[in-house]
Amino acid sequence: MVATTELARRIKIKTEVSHPHNSAPADDENKAHVEYARDANSAEARSPAELPTVEQTNFNVLYIIADDLRPEIGAFIDPKTRPWLNSAIKTPNLDALAERSLVLRRAYVQVARCNPSRVSIMTSRRPNTTHIVNNDGWFRKVGHGNTFVTIPEYFKMNGYSTLGCGKVFHPKSGVMNPQDQGRSWTKEFFQPKGHYEEDLNISWKAVSINDTMHKPLRDQMSVKHALSYMQYEASRFNTNKSPFFLAVGLKKPHVPYVFPDEFLDLYPIEDIQLPQNDFAPANMPACHWHNSRDTLGYDDLIKAKKNWVINSTLPTNVAIDLRRAYYASVSYIDSLVGTLLAELDKLQLRERTIVAFLSDHGYQLGEHGIWGKDTNFEAATNAPMMLSIPGKTDKRVDSFRMTEMVDLFPTLVDAAGLPPLPQCPQYSEETAVCTEGSSMMPLLQDSSSADPIKWKDRVFSQYPSPDIAKAEYMGYSVRTEKYLYIEWVRCKGEINGVWPQPTFKELYDIDKDINQNRNVVNDSIYANTIVELSQSLRDGWVAALPKLV
């Protein structure tokens, strides 16, 4: 194996720059060449065939990412800290996985939107570095994104077979190659067609088993393909100990909620509750409100929503139907996770495979009158994440420390026994391999230690104002043990050293107001707290890094 600092020093990404009006193929971003210098003083590079081979002790990795899944999982339910979650949710397979995992109970995304969050997760960079804050940009073509090494790409560079299927990156980011074929994967990426989602413009549909046999659902096709990958890779692993990294992206519970009808029966309609707070927080600036266009744009909801403005609500029967369909979608993907894990057991790979399960962000099911993600509120930024690591998490370990999705990349690398990622400098746009997070492996010993580790005490998220032209306001948030603080500034997510004067501010006292129903930023008793939190935003993630040495 190449030593840690040596690996960071040797990796160079050469990109071919083409004129925007030439006739180059649409996937030019994949014409990047990864070179390894033979030593620190040599420019001579090794070919991919000469890349370092993995050791027999390296684990496989099964990476499962859901879409729009808040921690609506039995193992994460806690009415005191997350009262908006459904305590009757049925997720037996994910609950079983949690029993042999590090369960990150307070994991936060860096932006509550599919494309930017997935880019952030896959590169361990924050939106200010990737310059991706919406769904309409492919990171390889924005800024220095063609330089960044992704999670599967790093494992590939270290001798792993890397395979993917489903929604791993964001497939609608405006390019011909939205899943990073060629760079991140050793085999062709499998992208299924969503029959029902693309054929019908409705917000939800329970599909009969007979129908799914003729026209399988998107996630069913992804899992079927993943099983074939696992079976093939298992034979290679058992023969020559060649490990694999398999990413499975599940599209649900993203709208439209399309699922086998058996899962709807798990949730009697009379048991479905309305959200506790279907209204905007008192004193919330209008720029934080989202019009829920992703959900409410379906034909069956256009009439129901009528003139949708702040504090609008859906008719009770419509809101209950949507929440019920979401829960059914969650149980549906739980069953698919069970299928993947059962195959891992059947192939006798569980003890040799790290399993990571996460979502790209949380979700609001009518809380604050919002149906979707797209805010800096807790329901949108808090997402499930758990890691099953053979020999380390044979018994469940719950961590209530605040973590971030940028922490996942260095953790997987650490757990797999690969050369650890170097810490990114504050501005790392031209750095190929580094992390703006921290390995979470120390959290495995944190709960049993008499001397708790000095972990980060604050985490950061951001979101562009969703309904102001050209997203001219960016909402930067910092979450601490007691508070959620947000500043809305005039910029497009590119603050590099000079912090604009905030136009709007929000402060939520989580200890007293767990649902974030009142913005107390103008209450004089919080004046000193606001000064401290505002400085925390300006100090940024570098100042918040764990003090582990």
Query: Is the bond preceding residue 268 a cis peptide, omega within 30 degrees?
Result: no
CA distances from 66 to 63, 148, 285 (A): 10, 23, 31
User: Could you tell me if 126 and 148 are in contact, meaning their C-beta atoms sit under 8 angstroms apart?
Assistant: no
Res. 337 pLDDT band, cuts 50 70 90: very high
| Residues 6+ positions from 523 with CB-CB distance below 8 Å | none
- For the segment 376-414, what is each residue's pLDDT rounded down to a tens digit? 999 999 999 999 999 999 999 999 999 999 999 999 999
Instruction: Indicate the range of 282-291, 321-330, 440-449 predicted with least confidence.
Output: 440-449
* Domains of the chain with bracketed CATH: 57-446 (3.40.720.10), 459-544 (3.30.1120)
Residue 271 has pLDDT above 70, yes or no: yes
* DSSP secondary structure code for residue 341 in this structure: H
| Residues 6+ positions from 185 with CB-CB distance below 8 Å | 152, 156, 162, 163, 164, 179
382: closest CA among 93, 77, 14, 109? 109
Helix (H) or strand (E) holding 332: helix 316-346
User: Could you tell me if 8 and 433 are in contact, meaning their C-beta atoms sit under 8 angstroms apart?
Assistant: yes
- For the segment 488-499, what is each residue's pLDDT rounded down to a tens digit? 998 755 555 567
Secondary structure in 3-state letters for 91-134? CHHHHHHHCCCEEEEEEECCCCCHHHHHHHHHHCCCHHHHCCCC
Active site residues: 114, 170
Helix (H) or strand (E) holding 355: strand 353-359
Q: What is the pLDDT of residue 459?
A: 99
Q: What is the pLDDT of residue 475?
A: 94
User: 523: helix, coil or strand?
Assistant: coil
Q: What is the pLDDT of residue 58?
A: 85
| Residues 6+ positions from 242 with CB-CB distance below 8 Å | 54, 159, 161, 236
Res. 175 pLDDT band, cuts 50 70 90: low
Backbone angles phi, psi at 412, to 5 degrees: -60, -40
User: 252: helix, coil or strand?
Assistant: coil
- For the segment 405-437, what is each residue's pLDDT rounded down to a tens digit? 999 999 999 999 999 999 999 889 999 999 999
Average pLDDT of the residues of the chain: 86
Provide the pairing of β-strand 60-66 with 353-359.
parallel
